[in-house]
């Protein structure tokens, strides 16, 4: 069996990564598995442990770093986020195409470790619209919103590291473009 692809979906907080991912993940032809990350952030209302994230303590997270259990990790606005390596390998060995929805520092680490990963960067139609989306979501207090926005312009500078750039103006169109990119890569892999 062919090993599954590794797909990185990144972009600033609030750009719509989660929204788009939920649309294209439903396409069975993509044969996708979403990698659930570990984080020290507190769960938001409605978030489930083991589904949205594995919610953990700083102590446990630092133990996972020391034990080499993470494919990548980063500290983002005061919390750790990381990808458990074992699960990614297991899913890819089963032939699943594994999707990582991660911020830019982690994406850089994955690109260095796995140069054949398919990297996709989502950009907003404008920075004003990005701000509207982060605020409109109402999941973070003002102080954290400010920190995330301040980070966003630096994150946008990492755009050059990505193979594909998709603008999230209409989420349906953005999801369709990503579907097209992944399907083409699946086809290329099959013809190898």
Ligand X SMILES: Nc1nc2c(ncn2[C@@H]2O[C@H](COP(=O)(O)OP(=O)(O)O)[C@@H](O)[C@H]2O)c(=O)[nH]1
Ligand Y SMILES: Nc1ncnc2c1ncn2[C@@H]1O[C@H](COP(=O)(O)OP(=O)(O)O)[C@@H](O)[C@H]1O
From the annotation, which residues make up the binding site?
11-18
Which of 8, 103, 122, 124 binds ligand X (CB under 6 A)? It is 103
CB contact set of 159 (below 8 Å; sequence gap of 6+) = 121, 123, 165
Residue 61 near ligand X by CB under 6 A: no
Count of CA atoms in the C-beta half-sphere (13 A) of 128:
0
Distance, CA of 120 to CA of 107 (rounded, Å): 10
Nearer to ligand Y (CB atom), residue 18 or residue 43: 18
Which DSSP state fits 49? B
Nearer to ligand Y (CB atom), residue 59 or residue 128: 128
Q: Which stretch binds ligand X (CB under 6 A): 60-68, 97-105, 167-175, 176-184?
A: 97-105
Q: Are 83 and 72 in contact (CB under 8 A)?
A: yes
Number of residues that bind ligand X (CB under 6 A): 17
Residue number with the smallest Cβ distance to ligand X: 106
Distance, CA of 144 to CA of 122 (rounded, Å): 21
Residue 124 near ligand X by CB under 6 A: no
* Min dist. Cβ of residue 33 to ligand Y (A): 18
* Min dist. Cβ of residue 17 to ligand Y (A): 3
Helix (H, G, I), strand (E, B) or coil at 116: coil
Q: Which stretch binds ligand X (CB under 6 A): 13-21, 58-66, 122-130, 161-169?
A: 13-21
Q: Which residues are annotated as a binding site for ATP?
A: 11-18
Which of 40, 56, 83, 111 binds ligand X (CB under 6 A)? It is 83
Q: DSSP H helical segments within the chain, as ranges?
A: 17-24, 58-66, 85-93, 104-113, 127-137, 142-156, 171-190
Count of CA atoms in the C-beta half-sphere (13 A) of 21:
24
Binding residues for ligand X, rule: CB under 6 A, are 13-14, 17-18, 37, 41, 72, 74, 76, 81-83, 101-103, 105-106
């Amino acid at each position: 069996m062919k090993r599954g692809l590794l797909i990185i979906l990144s972009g600033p907080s609030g750009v719509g990564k989660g929204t788009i991912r939920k649309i294209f993940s439903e396409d069975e032809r993509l044969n996708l598995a979403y990698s659930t990350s570990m984080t020290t952030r507190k769960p938001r209302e409605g978030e489930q442990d083991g589904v949205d994230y594995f919610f953990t303590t700083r102590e446990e997270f630092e133990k996972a770093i020391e034990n080499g259990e993470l494919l990548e990790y980063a500290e983002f606005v005061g919390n750790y986020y990381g990808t458990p390596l074992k699960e990614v390998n297991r899913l890819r060995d089963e032939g699943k195409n594994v999707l990582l929805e991660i911020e830019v520092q982690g994406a850089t680490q994955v690109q260095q470790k796995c140069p054949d990963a398919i990297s996709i960067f989502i950009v907003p139609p404008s920075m004003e619209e990005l701000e509207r989306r982060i605020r409109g979501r109402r999941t973070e207090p003002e102080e954290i919103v400010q920190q995330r926005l301040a980070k966003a312009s630096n994150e946008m500078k990492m755009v050059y590291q990505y193979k594909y750039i998709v603008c999230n103006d209409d989420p349906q169109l953005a999801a369709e473009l990503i579907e097209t990119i992944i399907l083409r890569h699946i086809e290329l892999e099959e013809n190898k």
